Structure 1
Amino acid sequence: MWQVGLCVVAVVTILISQWLYKWRNPKSNGVLPPGSMGLPFIGETLQLLIPNHSLDLHPFIKKRIEKYGRVFSTNLVGRPMVITADPKLNNYLFQQEGKEVELWYLDTFEKVFRLEGEARPNAVGRIHKYLRGTFLTLFGVDSLRTKLLSEIETTVRTNIHRWSTQGTIDAKKEAANDKDKLEKVIRAMLKERIACPEEKKGDFLDRAVKDLNTDFFLTENFILSIIVGALFATVESISTAIALSFKLFAEHPWVVEDLVAEHDILLKNRENKESPLTWDEYKSMTVTMHVINEVLRLGNVAPGILRKTLKDINYNGYTIPAGWAIMMVNCTLQLNPNVFKDPLAFNPRRWKDIDPQTASKNFMPFGGGIRQCAGAEFSKAFFATFLHVLVSEYKWTKIKGGDVARTPMLQFQDGMYIKVSKKHA
């Protein structure tokens, strides 16, 4: 019997060894980029989740770039992946949307919306195109210019006033709470903007389903939920940027002085000091945009931009297999010392000397290509309006906290506590 037992153990050992070998050496029609698949099932996920208490690139990515180069393979949450910090490859991938790569909505999303098999080709692109177009119609430049900007200002004024009555607050937590309080307002705005006569409601939904050419039933509530989710994700990133700005302002008070000077000039040029913020005023905020750019440059909220390969991609002697995930780490561009001198320093004035072409190639806080975040202009307008109201009418003091950590998302582990009060109270 012991001989049978030894045979069983031997067979199991061989099978496990073969499985481990396949895990560590995934199939490919060419040479994979260098790297490691990590542990079975979890890959190298745990290393990515180790907190990094710095605004610098996460060590998981930084160390592997130093070891393997700007393109390397790994496995995260059980998914084989190539991470690229190579500007040329990333730019190429941005141009290959719908051809060699597509948005990766995670495998669960694909199953929920049945984006598999015969239904898969171009379905993800159609969904994204439809929802992006709807989002831009509702929250794009035209809507911001004609109506939304004043609504944003009203919301910002209400929220900052509430902060000023609460004593010491956690800026990150309150900004996130403000986002939740906006839900009913935003849904009402959405209802108003996509409103159509009740008798034509069916035509609207039928047209939406036809445009998407998918077999799931698209309802008005589904449209609202997806758009609200996208909008809240946008505001969530801005809430983190707002909290980060309080930390950076406390460390660099001269930046606040620059902002105050700019917005004092803006108010002096108004005929009516009580008038709401106009689009022309927003577009004239050069110093404010420099500050926003610098906060976004340092405050990369997400570790990278996810895509999925539709076919094998050959690059620089390596092959990225079809079906693999790709994470494009563009934040390495934003910390490039050849473009941004002393890259970890917070210095909004540096943007005076950076020409638009250089910025477009090395600064991508909202992604790039045809899949650039549809909420980019909304985010900047929201942030600019917040700074306008804040520096024009309020003063604040940092109380405690402000230590950042990437896990890998940017977080404030000990909060960002401030006290806000009216300037002339």
Structure 2
Amino acid sequence: MWVLMAIIFGMSIITCLHALKYSKYNSKLPKGSMGFPILGETNHFFAPNPSFDVSPFIKHRVFKYGPIFKTSLVGKPLIISTDPDLNYLIFEQEETLFECWYPETFKKIFGDQFFGSLHGFMHKYLKNMIVNAFGIECLKSMVFEVEAAAITRLRRWASCEVVELKDEIANMILDLTANKLISYDPENSPENLRENFVAFIQGLVSFPLDIPGTAYHKCLRGRKRVMRMLENMLEERQQNPRKQNVDFFDFVLQELQKDGTPLTKEIALDLIFLLLFASYETTSIALTLAIKFLLDHPHVLSQLTEEHEGILKNRKNKASGITWNEYKSMTFTFKFLNETLRLANIAPGIFRRALRDVEFKGCVCCTYRNYHPSGMGCHGVSSSYPFGSKALC
């Protein structure tokens, strides 16, 4: 009883201090609720969303407070914007009025070193490195490999009574991309990459409580295992370098050996981990939803089938694999995939932090120096509407 009373008393004091400390800014900030001290409105934000629409958390608060509102998630005060004009301003004034920012929980999950490099020259350097490693020539060579992997999986699924489509597609994508990134062989590797990523993803959207048994703890443990595997592979490659670049790991090693390179071992490992995660989760969601959309819209499936059958009819050798020119000729397929990506809403949001006080439509996005030591940022949510997608900062 005494412990309970002490907790209630302590929370009351924190609430009062919280209100007094921020009172001079509240009149300028957008409408909204900061929820409970420390917890904020985190529980509502993490509630499952069974539809493809904007999450109920966003929709309810937009209806109540308007397109721009304040809140607090996992201990961080944030402003959420669904206003297209403000979102355009944020993208337009990147690194002038706003900068890329992520909560400490994201940094802990994906790597402090990598998130610390998402600014200025280092950001451009990493972007160019990825583009150079996975340019047009690389994509041209991968077309046949992707087709072969898809055919192999489809034949395997055909013999199954039930297929968990999302999981099976994710495994196919992970095997394919992991082979290209790190020459990963699931049959001969001592570490099960899939199991670790499953544990990682299940705790990715959870309350950041690092206690054994929690989803967040399993998430961090999954990341630690993958990172240990990548670090061991890096050390082995450094001891036995290849004469030619076979995968992205070889390209990274080549960059690390250059004089004056800004790339460090820690950033390189975080980057590879993030690329593996991005291919495993986002691509599998998009492909799963693409199949669902085709089932829901038979006329689209019919038109898609007609385009692909036309390509097969024009092929001289019916048994040959897909070519780059055939791939580029799939105009309706590209339109279908772009519409899928618009509706699928794969990236749920972006984060930005105001570099100084920015007034917009009578309210202020406060800087971290004025409002909170850890930052009053702009939290982003991508949404899907019948008239097109908006990036919601």
TM-score by length of 2: 0.69
Displacement of 1:79: 0.8
Summarize the alignment of residues 309-328 of structure 1 with structure 2, pairs less than 5 Å apart: 309-322=354-367, 323-328=375-380
Alpha-carbon distance between aligned partners in 2 of 1:278 and 1:35, rounded to the nearest angstrom: 54
Report the 3-state secondary structure (helix = DSSP H, G, I; strand = E; otherwise coil) of the residue aligned with 1:132: helix
The equivalent residue for 1:124 is 119
The equivalent residue for 2:246 is 192
1:50-104 CA deviation, whole Å, 9 max, x = no partner?
Answer: 2233222211111111121111111111111111111111111112222222222
The equivalent residue for 1:293 is 338
Alpha-carbon distance between aligned partners in 2 of 1:195 and 1:41, rounded to the nearest angstrom: 41
The equivalent residue for 1:394 is none
Out of 42, 66, 70, which is 2:63 matched to? 66
Alpha-carbon distance between aligned partners in 2 of 1:252 and 1:208, rounded to the nearest angstrom: 55
Preserved contact between residue 15 and residue 37 of structure 2 (Cα < 8 Å)? no
Are residues 1:329 and 2:381 paired? yes
Alpha-carbon distance between aligned partners in 1 of 2:11 and 2:269, rounded to the nearest angstrom: 53
Summarize the alignment of residues 241-260 of structure 1 with structure 2, pairs less than 5 Å apart: 241-260=286-305
The equivalent residue for 2:164 is 170
Alpha-carbon distance between aligned partners in 1 of 2:317 and 2:30, rounded to the nearest angstrom: 61
The equivalent residue for 1:78 is 75
Displacement of 1:209: 6.3
Displacement of 1:22: 4.3
Preserved contact between residue 84 and residue 328 of structure 1 (Cα < 8 Å)? yes
Report the 3-state secondary structure (helix = DSSP H, G, I; strand = E; otherwise coil) of the residue aligned with 1:254: helix
Out of 93, 98, 108, which is 1:96 matched to? 93
The equivalent residue for 1:379 is none
Alpha-carbon distance between aligned partners in 1 of 2:250 and 2:41, rounded to the nearest angstrom: 50
Preserved contact between residue 34 and residue 41 of structure 2 (Cα < 8 Å)? yes
The equivalent residue for 1:31 is 28
Alpha-carbon distance between aligned partners in 2 of 1:115 and 1:187, rounded to the nearest angstrom: 17
The equivalent residue for 1:18 is 16
Are residues 1:138 and 2:133 paired? yes
Cα gap change, 1:318/1:133 in structure 2, threshold over 3 Å: closer, same or farther? same
Cα gap change, 1:330/1:259 in structure 2, threshold over 3 Å: closer, same or farther? same
Displacement of 1:263: 0.3
Displacement of 1:175: 1.3
Alpha-carbon distance between aligned partners in 2 of 1:313 and 1:16, rounded to the nearest angstrom: 28
Alpha-carbon distance between aligned partners in 2 of 1:298 and 1:195, rounded to the nearest angstrom: 33
Are residues 1:308 and 2:359 paired? no
Are residues 1:153 and 2:151 paired? no
Are residues 1:45 and 2:42 paired? yes
The equivalent residue for 1:422 is none
Preserved contact between residue 179 and residue 232 of structure 1 (Cα < 8 Å)? no
Alpha-carbon distance between aligned partners in 1 of 2:10 and 2:277, rounded to the nearest angstrom: 50
Report the 3-state secondary structure (helix = DSSP H, G, I; strand = E; otherwise coil) of the residue aligned with 2:351: strand
Out of 201, 212, 223, which is 2:268 matched to? 223
Displacement of 1:20: 4.2
The equivalent residue for 1:204 is 255
Preserved contact between residue 94 and residue 368 of structure 1 (Cα < 8 Å)? no
Q: Which runs of 5+ in 2 are unaligned?
A: 1-5, 185-244, 368-374
Out of 309, 318, 335, which is 1:264 matched to? 309
Number of paired residues?
318
Q: Which runs of 5+ in 1 are unaligned?
A: 1-7, 213-217, 340-361, 370-425
Preserved contact between residue 307 and residue 332 of structure 2 (Cα < 8 Å)? yes
The Cα RMSD (Å) is 3.6
Letter of the 2:164 counterpart: D
Preserved contact between residue 29 and residue 319 of structure 1 (Cα < 8 Å)? no
Displacement of 1:363: 4.0
Alpha-carbon distance between aligned partners in 2 of 1:94 and 1:48, rounded to the nearest angstrom: 24
Preserved contact between residue 80 and residue 380 of structure 2 (Cα < 8 Å)? yes
Alpha-carbon distance between aligned partners in 2 of 1:299 and 1:267, rounded to the nearest angstrom: 29
1:302-334 CA deviation, whole Å, 9 max, x = no partner?
Answer: 432222223222211211111322123342xx4
Cα gap change, 1:188/1:295 in structure 2, threshold over 3 Å: closer, same or farther? same
Segments of 4+ moved more than 4 angstroms: 11-14, 108-112, 188-191, 193-197, 206-209
The equivalent residue for 1:387 is none
Q: Which has the higher contact order (CA 8 A, sep 6+)?
A: 1
Cα gap change, 1:176/1:12 in structure 2, threshold over 3 Å: closer, same or farther? closer
Q: Identity percentage over the alignment?
A: 36
Alpha-carbon distance between aligned partners in 1 of 2:332 and 2:295, rounded to the nearest angstrom: 18
1:169-190 CA deviation, whole Å, 9 max, x = no partner?
Answer: 1101111222343364123469
Cα gap change, 1:20/1:184 in structure 2, threshold over 3 Å: closer, same or farther? closer
1:148-168 CA deviation, whole Å, 9 max, x = no partner?
Answer: 222322322232232223332
Letter of the 2:149 counterpart: T
Report the 3-state secondary structure (helix = DSSP H, G, I; strand = E; otherwise coil) of the residue aligned with 2:133: helix
Alpha-carbon distance between aligned partners in 1 of 2:262 and 2:352, rounded to the nearest angstrom: 23
Are residues 1:236 and 2:234 paired? no
